[in-house]
Amino acid sequence: MKKLAGVIAGVMMIGGAAVAQAGPAQVLPNGPGPGGVTSDNIEWIKNIGISVDAVGGRLVGDYFYTNDQHKMMILDVSDPLNPVMTDFELFPQEVLFSREDLDTNGKIMVLPQTGFGLHILDVEDKSNIVRLATVTGNQHTQSCILDCTWAYGSDGNIHDLRDPSNPVLMKEKWGEGKPTGGGHDVTEVSKGMVLTATQPMMFMDARKNPLNPKLLALGANDDARFIHSVLWPRKGKDKFILAGGETNFQFRCNERNGAFMVWDASKWKRTRTFTMLDEYRMTNGTFVDGSPAVNAAGCSSHWLEAHPRFKNGGLVAAAFFEHGTRLINVTKKGKIKEVGYFMPWGGSTGAVYWITDEILYAIDYTRGIDILRYTGDK
């Protein structure tokens, strides 16, 4: 796709400024600005409107891989305030359930597409994406395992990618014989060590046998809530697991909406369990106080990411649809407090990523990419 990359690379600019809700009622001063409503520790830099129903991304080195409903893009983010597109690859237009959690090691990418299959891409040359294969067995999200030599689908499918030009859908399922056979996502915490966004959550070891990973630990909720995304900071060395729960098409916030959660992972080797410590849900407001009066996509947590300096507590950036980007502090005891936010005008934020320890990319379904700067305590 080199032909148009140079043209589109120039379509990347705009400008801006920074009210917030820290905890259920505390308001951090600042106010409405050009990009939206923000707390005093977040500055809106600009919007890059190059995405149509933007969904998610993945940062590997100086490159950010991101997608929307009809294309995947590679951005050079060595200057994070001025990203430059190096290439893109077009795909058939999707209308629902877009590929949210594209995964790559910087060389091979797995990209699921509802109704069209699992795409395997060679992304090693950032200026020349090569589509290697498309195979059946696609599921809502697909994750690289063991340096993208295997792929785990959200509902149990396993693909052998040792020859990425000839991917093979295996008959085995990663959830066979386990408490649950699938869910919304799979996260490789460290090489071959897998945490599932399922109910219950499962921690598995796929290093010796990726076709039948060994179950190591479980974490469950009594209310059997839907787990959307999971993250174990510092490659599983942290004492906390972070999780988000999604509830769609609920126009007002209530106690049943999907929560941001903190789980105790400090005792799993002894107890073989994870235990939820705290949870946090959004509330409705008046827009100018940093919370929307109503919700369209749903009043719930979506994708989230820990700050690069997160260590047994610290800062987390989480996407909450119409509530935008929320900065959450996790204390050393696993307690949650909101400490900042950016709620965009006319937006619905699906994912947010730390590009540096102060620059954030908020991926928005209606706006594309908002570039933010965090100016608070790191």
Instruction: For the domain covering 56-178, report its CATH number.
Output: 2.130.10.10
Q: How many CB atoms lie within 10 A of CB 94?
A: 19
**Residue 142: helix, strand or coil by DSSP?**
strand
- What per-residue confidence (pLDDT) applies to 218? 98
- What per-residue confidence (pLDDT) applies to 288? 86
| Helices of type H across the chain | 2-8, 268-271
Per-residue pLDDT tens over the stretch 90-124 = 988 876 666 788 899 999 999 998 878 899 999 99
Per-residue pLDDT tens over the stretch 233-287 = 999 999 999 999 999 888 899 888 999 999 999 999 999 999 999 999 999 999 8
Cα dihedral value 77, 82, 88, 93, nearest 10: 110
- Provide the terminal-to-terminal Cα distance of the chain, rounded to the nearest Å: 39
Is the pLDDT at 8 greater than 70? The verdict is no
Is the pLDDT at 21 greater than 60? The verdict is no
Which tokens in the block code for residue 60? 């590997």
Is the pLDDT at 4 greater than 60? The verdict is no
Q: Please give the Cα distance from 1 to 4 (Å, whole number).
A: 6
Per-residue pLDDT tens over the stretch 136-165 = 998 999 999 999 999 999 999 999 999 999
Which tokens in the block code for residue 169? 């859908």
Confidence of residue 16 (pLDDT cuts 50, 70, 90): very low
Which tokens in the block code for residue 43? 């500055």
Longest dimension (CA), the chain: 56
Q: Please give the Cα distance from 98 to 198 (Å, whole number).
A: 19
Mean pLDDT score of the chain: 90
Is the pLDDT at 59 greater than 80? The verdict is yes
**Residue 5: helix, strand or coil by DSSP?**
helix
Query: Strands across the sheet with 314-319, in order?
Result: 31-32, 36-38, 336-344, 325-330, 314-319, 304-306
Is the pLDDT at 30 greater than 70? The verdict is no
Sign of CA dihedral 147, 148, 149, 151: positive
Q: How many CB atoms lie within 10 A of CB 125?
A: 13
Q: How far is CA 262 from the centre of its chain?
A: 16
Q: Is the distance from CB of 132 to CB of 107 less than 8 angstroms?
A: no
- What per-residue confidence (pLDDT) applies to 24? 34
Per-residue pLDDT tens over the stretch 164-207 = 999 999 999 999 999 999 999 999 999 999 999 999 999 999 99
- What per-residue confidence (pLDDT) applies to 96? 64
Q: Please give the Cα distance from 181 to 165 (Å, whole number).
A: 28
Per-residue CA distances from 216 to 18, 196, 202, 338 (Å): 45, 12, 8, 32
- What ranges do the domains of the chain cover? 15-48+221-378, 56-178
Q: Is the distance from CB of 112 to CB of 121 less than 8 angstroms?
A: no
48 half-sphere exposure, CB direction, 13 A CA radius: 24
- What per-residue confidence (pLDDT) applies to 194? 98
**For the chain, percent helix, then strand, then coil, each to nearest 5?**
5, 45, 55
Confidence of residue 69 (pLDDT cuts 50, 70, 90): confident
282 half-sphere exposure, CB direction, 13 A CA radius: 39
Mean pLDDT value of segment 325-351: 96
117 half-sphere exposure, CB direction, 13 A CA radius: 14
Q: Please give the Cα distance from 338 to 316 (Å, whole number).
A: 9
Q: Where are the beta strands (DSSP E) in 136-180?
A: 142-145, 150-153, 157-160, 168-173
Mean pLDDT value of segment 315-320: 97
Confidence of residue 375 (pLDDT cuts 50, 70, 90): very high
Name beta bridge partners: 370.
47, 362
**C-alpha angle 326/12/98, rounded to 5°?**
55
Residue with tokens 């959690």: 101
Is the pLDDT at 12 greater than 90? The verdict is no
Q: Please give the Cα distance from 78 to 95 (Å, whole number).
A: 32
- What per-residue confidence (pLDDT) applies to 70? 87
Confidence of residue 20 (pLDDT cuts 50, 70, 90): very low
Q: Please give the Cα distance from 73 to 58 (Å, whole number).
A: 11
Share of the chain above pLDDT 70, in %: 91
- What per-residue confidence (pLDDT) applies to 71? 92
Per-residue pLDDT tens over the stretch 224-234 = 999 999 999 99
